[in-house]
Structure 1
Amino acid sequence: MTASVRLPVAPRLFADELLSSWMARVSARYGSEPLELTVYLAGQGRPTEGLRQVDDVAPDMGLLRLWAKACRIDPARLRHRSLASRYPDRPRDWFLNETVPVCLACFDADVAAGRDAYLRADWRLAEQVVCPAHRNIHLDRCPDCRGRLRPSFRMLNDLLRPFCRKCDAVLTSRGAGGGSPSEESFAAGVLDLQRQISRIVRADPSRLDCLEHAVRTIWAPLDRGGAARPVLALWYDEPGWNCPYNARAAVGSLAPLQHLPVRWRALTLVILHDLFGAKLVPGANLPEAARILFRRAAPMPWLAQSRDARNRKGKRTIDASAERVHRLSKRPVHRLNGNSLDERGDFGRIHP
């Protein structure tokens, strides 16, 4: 039987750090990745098929106990750093599942303070698209190679710094140049909307149901099966507009914000403000622009289900016509069809 492994050096967690970020920093101290170090901590002769990356929202306690013992930390302390413990009243649909968008200025602030760079917990909140400290839009693509951003940590000048896993570029805002005045103005406006959405998600269940219904409807497929467009295409007022490739996974989804890149999430908040004003949620009487969009949504059976019904186990049933609309809305779009990456980066004011 193999003795439990004790790591000689293990950095402590920062108060607002993601569990996966801390594990990546610990692993980087030993020139490894979290999954590789997990296999090592489990020891030879132990089954490895169940070992996996940590779930930041609700981590497996067996995995936490393994890391806690190796790093000489109370397992309960690690559990309290999970997103489910940090935000106990937040629905799971309002946490991001995949890429963690980052603020490069926050990384630079870490270095300036003489500490390791790390990923913040609130970067996984679905409505968080602007950094409150630096007032810039989060990044989910590498500024150098433009690939999907998946940071890794490595030692540089005695501190752990984030690098792009694809192109090995250090992730820093230095030398990247400041944003344009229109970009800064857009970020400031979205920051106010982001704060309002956070208050609704955190403490207003009645308005939250209306908010979720509005977001799902905006990203529902259009009722015309051959359109291959979400409902928000009508807000653009461009007949030939198709759904961009990097946003297709959100069309018809129960939780569209989980699948959207940062700028499409930001634009969704702007559309909510345009349609429903300062409240950001539909009321008893819909404005005319909202009525136009809402009545053009394809009949997706699960959009009308309650949260409890959606959370039950089992497969959703979809009628044949809705299945076809859902499939067509996600069909590939040619790059010359006006849907190239960052085509609408200025996010100018557009009327429904």
Structure 2
Amino acid sequence: MRECHLNGALLIGTGASIVALLFIGFGIYVVLERRNLSKLKQKYFQQHGGWILLEKIKSNQGFGFTIFTKQQVEQGTSNFDSANILGHGGHGTVYRGTLRDQTVAIKKCKIVDESRKKEFGKEMLILSQINHKNIVKILGCCLEVEVPMLVYEFIPNGTLYDTIHYKMQGSRISLATRLRIAHKSAEALAYLHTSASPPIFHGDVKSANILLDQNYMAKVSDFGASILAPTDEVQFVTIVQGTCGYLDPEYMQSCQLTDKSDVYSFGVVLLELLTSKPVIDFDAPKEERSLSSRFLSVMEENKMLELVDDEIKHEDDMELIRAVAELAKECLRMTYDEGSSRRASSNHQA
């Protein structure tokens, strides 16, 4: 009997030792995983130019830019809960979140150009200093992830695209409101092209990247495809980015993003405001699928009014509508010399 008790105690002791070893092993595993995760965060942080940003923030107390941790962003979006999604884009998903008791928009990007990773911190420094009432303010970023996340001010009324193409039944967007949105968007682009230092080419101007505040004031957003103007004569060549229907044909051929590329895309936005039609209509006959091509065709035939939204077709406004149509036509010119004039026209209007 005593031998049975001893054997039982030995088994119990052995089992307890195994459990203890398992707990110790699990504890070591957790510590190592946390250490590896911390190293990975530090690697991404350094890779994206985090130290440059930190030094700038420390040296300038008035610098309104914050580097958020991955944990802060995850908590602020309830771990990127789908209920917080504000919209999807070609460069990522935008979530509504709360950081430091402030409602913000957090963009979780899909990819970042390998050649731009080291320059990301420097580019954030420049973008963060943009101060224009018609450009969405970048408040900060998170660099502890493979693809940096951007934090923007929250704009409550959604996108111009939704306002144009998903109007509530009975709602109406007046011509005056449309022209004000166009005017303020043009001012924002002119600021990026001529007043920012160095100049900034947006790279993805479209109605989905123009937000509207509570007063329907335009705010240009989403700098995921933006580049800084080259400082030498060698133009920065990149993979063509942007959105089908808005892309400048010259840009698609040369892979060289310029201010003229933004002006062309702005011309397409003008067409949306005039017509309320989609920029690409896959249900239409092949020759009529592109709104810009169709518009240029009817302009040549002097049948422009066929495309204009019925909501703004009023006799008193015809002259103004024709003037806007002519401006859109200038923006959409495709040859280099004509492109130069379209750039000048846009800046003059802004």
Settle same-fold status: TM greater than 0.5.
Answer: no
More strand by share: 2
Q: Which has the higher contact order (CA 8 A, sep 6+)?
A: 1
TM-score by length of 2: 0.27
More helix by share: 2
Bigger Cα Rg: 2
